[in-house]
Amino acid sequence: MMKPARAWATLVLLMPLMALAQDVPATPPTPTPLSAADTAAALSRAERLGKAIFLQDLAAERATDAIRAKYRAFGKDARVRGWITEEHDGQYRVSYIDATPAVLYRVEMAADGTPAGEVQVLSEPAPLSAYEAAATTARTLAMTAQVAPCAKAYNSVALPEGEGRWAVYLLPATTLPNVVPLGGSHRLDIADGRITASRGFTRTCIQLGRTPSKRGVKVVGMMVTHLLDPTPTEVHVYWSLWARTPMYVATTDGQLWEIHDGRIHKRDDVAQAPASGS
């Protein structure tokens, strides 16, 4: 992972250093403007969910690395069909499951992505906890949804919403460190054993880049125009954290929003933002 880039001092001076991403789909409906209170609530929700998605995804990634470092046979274990990540007491328990489903491996991870305990290789597959069973059911149901794919493989993060409800995020997977596959990210709401709502966060398979130019110019931020919401979403926060790079999101009302270290701020020093994008 790249180290976090510094926040931009002024947008005008640093505009040439952006990894600028724009694609132009058919004209979408203009998002309904929000009141000041609703805007604050939307930003807070995006920050909270984006960070939660990132921390679960980070825990799973680093847990997999920890298991492979200790047990080389893990990579060839055909029984493993996926994993479930559960937050508890400020840590994350990552459980790798088979088709039963039952638990084969467990790893406790700290919030910073470092192991918080020994890798557990279970001699016999163990029953799932109530949380793991509910999360597995939600994830399995979400994977049956008919969504527009933008990658051959997807990662998933299941977040509990309370009262038996779940939000499952489907996130395009990539093996290219300088490609940020924003396009094709989806959210599925699960309740009562069915998908109650779904949404995509882009209209196209847009990808952001953070590859330095051939002239050695360093990428200090990514920019995308967003047509579907009046404010940035949790997916913008997640991908900015994942890329360890600030993201600038322009919305159709002419506002430009800065996402840095998981926090969203409006850039009042920019008068007009681009009108086309994802």
**Per-residue pLDDT at 277:** 62
Sole residue written with tokens 């998605």? 53
Q: List Cβ neighbours of 259 (8 Å cut-off, separation of 6 or more).
A: 232, 236, 237, 240, 246, 247, 248, 249
Averaged pLDDT, 6-30:
36
Residue type at position 93: R
Query: Residue 151 in contact with residue 172, Cβ under 8 Å?
Result: yes
**pTM summary value:** 0.85
Q: How many CA atoms lie within 13 A of 230 on its CB side?
A: 13
Q: Between 35 and 177, whose confidence is greater? A: 35
Q: List Cβ neighbours of 81 (8 Å cut-off, separation of 6 or more).
A: 97, 98, 99, 101
DSSP conformation class of 99: S
Band of residue 210 on the pLDDT scale cut at 50, 70, 90: confident
User: How crowded is residue 168: how many other Cβ atoms within 10 Å of its Cβ?
Assistant: 23
User: How crowded is residue 162: how many other Cβ atoms within 10 Å of its Cβ?
Assistant: 6
pLDDT over 60 (residue 22): no
Band of residue 254 on the pLDDT scale cut at 50, 70, 90: confident
- Taking 3-state DSSP, the helix, strand and coil percentages for the chain, each rounded to the nearest 5, stand at 25, 30, 45
Number of H helices, E strands in the chain: 4, 15
Q: Between 213 and 108, whose confidence is greater? A: 108
**Per-residue pLDDT at 216:** 66
Q: List Cβ neighbours of 128 (8 Å cut-off, separation of 6 or more).
A: 84, 95, 97, 101, 102, 103, 136
pLDDT over 80 (residue 29): no
Averaged pLDDT, 29-56:
92
**Per-residue pLDDT at 270:** 58
